[in-house]
C-alpha cells in the first residue's frame, strides 16, 4: 500500500489530468491539494479579503474541472490553472468596481493620513512593500504577484495573461520603479517623523 502511495505522489499533473478525463473523478482531489495554497494566495493578494478569496478559489477549481478537456499539454498545468485564477480574480474585481467608490473619491483627510502614517512607519519594509503592491494599477499589481510571489517566469506570465513577453518585462520594470520610488519616499518621511519625535 505504501508503495502505491509513493507512486501516486510521483504522478505528474498531466498524468492526473488524464486519469480525471478517463472518468476517475476522485483523482481531481490531488490537483486541488497541490494547487489550493497557490490559488488562494493569488486570489487573496488580488482581492484582499479572506472570504472572497476562498469563494474565488472554489470557483477557480470548478472552472478547472469543467474545462479540463480543453487543457493543452504543450503548456505547464501550473501555468494553465494560474491563468484561470488570474482571469477569475480580474473578472471579479471588474464587476465589484461597479459598486465601489473610485479611489480618488475616497481620499483620506490629512489628519487620518497622519494617524495612519504614525502607525505605518513602525512596520518593517516587507509590510510597506505589500501595501504598496496593493496600490499599484491592476495590470502592474498582477504581474508583480505572478513573478515575485508566485514565482512564474516571464514566459509563464506571458502565457497566463496573454500579453507579449516584452510587455511583461516592460510592465514589471515600471512596477518595480514605482515601488522603489514609493519606498524611498516612505523612508524619507519615516526619517523626518523619527527626527521630529526625538526633538519633542
Interval 149-181: pLDDT, tens: 777 888 888 888 888 999 999 998 888 888 888
> 57 vs 145, which has greater pLDDT?
57
Within 13 Å, how many C-alpha atoms sit on residue 198's CB side?
6
- Compute the distance between CA of residue 189 and CA of residue 194 in angstroms, rounded to an integer: 8
For the chain, first and last CA: distance in Å? 71
Structural domains for the chain: 1-100 (1.10.1740.10), 108-200 (1.10.10.10)
161 membership: H or E segment, kind and range: helix 154-161
- Compute the distance between CA of residue 107 and CA of residue 115 in angstroms, rounded to an integer: 14
Q: Cα torsion at 100, 101, 102, 107 (round to 10°)? A: -140
Which of 85, 99, 118 has the alpha carbon at shortest distance from 200?
A: 118
Share of the chain above pLDDT 90, in %: 30
- Compute the distance between CA of residue 145 and CA of residue 45 in angstroms, rounded to an integer: 7
Question: Out of 39-53, 71-85, 121-135, 171-185, which region has the weakest mean confidence (pLDDT)?
Answer: 121-135
Cβ–Cβ under 8 Å, residues 19 and 8: no
The alpha carbon dihedral of 62, 67, 73, 78 has a sign of: negative
Cβ–Cβ under 8 Å, residues 170 and 135: no
Name every residue whose Cβ is closer than 8 Å to that of residue 45 and which is 6 or more positions away in sequence.
133, 134, 145, 149
- Provide the 3-class DSSP secondary structure of residue 137: coil
Q: Is the pTM of this model over 0.85?
A: no
And the C-alpha cell for 138?
491592476
Does 98 score more than 80 pLDDT? Answer: no
Amino acid at each position: 500500500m505504501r508503495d502505491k502511495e509513493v507512486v501516486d505522489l510521483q504522478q505528474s499533473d498531466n498524468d492526473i489530468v488524464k486519469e480525471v478525463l478517463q472518468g476517475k473523478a476522485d483523482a481531481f482531489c490531488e490537483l486541488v491539494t497541490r494547487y489550493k495554497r497557490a490559488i488562494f494566495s493569488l486570489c487573496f493578494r488580488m482581492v484582499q479579503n479572506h472570504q472572497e478569496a476562498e469563494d474565488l478559489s472554489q470557483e477557480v477549481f470548478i472552472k478547472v474541472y469543467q474545462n479540463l478537456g480543453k487543457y493543452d499539454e504543450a503548456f505547464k498545468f501550473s501555468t494553465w490553472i494560474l491563468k484561470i485564477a488570474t482571469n477569475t480574480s480580474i473578472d471579479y474585481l471588474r464587476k465589484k468596481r461597479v459598486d465601489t467608490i473610485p479611489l480618488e473619491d475616497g481620499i483620506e483627510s490629512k489628519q487620518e493620513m497622519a494617524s495612519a502614517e504614525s502607525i505605518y512607519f513602525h512596520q518593517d519594509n516587507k509590510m510597506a512593500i505589500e501595501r504598496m503592491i496593493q496600490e499599484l494599477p491592476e495590470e502592474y499589481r498582477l504581474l508583480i504577484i505572478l513573478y515575485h510571489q508566485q514565482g512564474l517566469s516571464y514566459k509563464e506570465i506571458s502565457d497566463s495573461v496573454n500579453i507579449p513577453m516584452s510587455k511583461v518585462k516592460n510592465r514589471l520594470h515600471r512596477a518595480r520603479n514605482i515601488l522603489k520610488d514609493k519606498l524611498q519616499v516612505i523612508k524619507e518621511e519615516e526619517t523626518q517623523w523619527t527626527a521630529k519625535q526625538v526633538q519633542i
